[in-house]
Amino acid sequence: MRWAAPEQFAEFVRNRHAALLRYAYLLCGDPHLAQDLVQDGLERTGMAWRRIERQGDPEGYVRRIITNRYLNRVRSLRRERLVSDAPDTSVTDAEPSDGSLMRLLSCLPRQQRAVMVMRYYLDYSEAQIAEALGCSAGTVKSTASRAIARLRRDLTDDPHQQLTSEGAL
């Protein structure tokens, strides 16, 4: 038996795929891993689409899957098999133009990076981040505080690596 996507799910994917890919890229900093995270999130969402659609926030559901899969990536890597030949398909580049911001984000631990991306890219409140990560608002605040302190320290240590006024921390 073959599964067929409901038209509402197909439309959701067409409309939100690029935004989900940007979000995943900001989390992990790797365009290939970002595509894998989004694919996994959409696959899981598609299988439960009717239930998720009734709950009213399918994009939040997919983002939570992407975030959890990213944060728990170490466990899944143990089961991954490396192959010697690369696949024949090409990949579009989802990298934002601000390389200095990506370099700064890549220095953060995964949890801190996830909090910063949710807060400043998705504009989530502390309560929304806490719900998405399954932790308390206090944990979100302390994690964000440590991340900002580290980013400021890294900016101070390397004066050549500066952000524009839009991306200032």
For residue 166 the two structure tokens come to 């839009």
Same-domain check for residues 31 and 102:
no
Q: Tell whether 117 is covered by a domain.
A: yes
Q: What is the CATH number of the domain that holds 6?
A: 1.10.1740
Q: Each residue of 147-157: pLDDT tens digit? A: 999 988 887 77
Q: How confident is the model at residue 145 (pLDDT cuts 50, 70, 90)?
A: very high
Q: Are 133 and 67 in contact (CB under 8 A)?
A: yes
pLDDT at 100: 74
pLDDT at 146: 94
- Per-residue three-class SS string for 112-162: HHHHHHHHHCCCCCHHHHHHHHCCCHHHHHHHHHHHHHHHHHHHHHCCCCC
Question: Within this chain, do residues 46 and 108 fall inside the same structural domain, yes or no?
Answer: no
pLDDT, one tens digit per residue, over 5-61 is 788 899 999 999 999 999 999 988 899 999 999 999 999 998 888 888 888 889 999
Q: Are residues 130 and 68 part of one domain?
A: no
Owning domain of residue 105:
96-169
